[in-house]
Amino acid sequence: MNKLYSFGLTLCLLFGMTIIVAAQTEQTTPGVHTPVVKARQKRQSTRIKRGVRSKELTKRETGSLMKNEKEIREEKREARADGTVTGAERKEIQKDQNQVSRKIYRKKHNDRTRK
């Protein structure tokens, strides 16, 4: 019973350490794929579309937000151009996405509406 218990505990610890190492490796490995950025862009685009549909965003606000989204896409394309998206580039893109997210919220919650 004691051997079985210690074997099970050892197996669980090894499995847990493997998951931790894999998670850390995935975040720090540079590459050209940016799934987090892509998913966030999609969510923000959906938020803008919902704002248009609910008439919370005016045409000018929508145009401004779409321009910001386009700039982020171009920044992402430039970062991928050399074959590697570095941590600093990812951080810069995330910073820009944070700013656009705040703009979306502010523009959706001001008192202007689409006519």
Domain positions in the chain are 1-30, 32-115
Q: Is 110 helix (H, G, I), strand (E, B) or coil?
A: coil
Which of the pair, 96 or 2, is modelled with greater confidence? 96
pLDDT of residue 115: 76
Distance CA 101, CA 112 (A): 18
pTM over 0.75: no
pLDDT of residue 106: 95
Question: In 3D, which of 36, 9, 28, 32 has the Cα closest to residue 94?
Answer: 36
Out of 21-25, 48-52, 110-114, least confident range:
21-25
Q: Is 86 helix (H, G, I), strand (E, B) or coil?
A: coil
22 C-beta neighbours (distance < 10 Å), count: 9
Contact between 34 and 80 under an 8 Å Cβ cutoff? The reply is: yes
pLDDT of residue 101: 96
Q: What is the DSSP letter of 31?
A: B
Strand partners for 85: 31
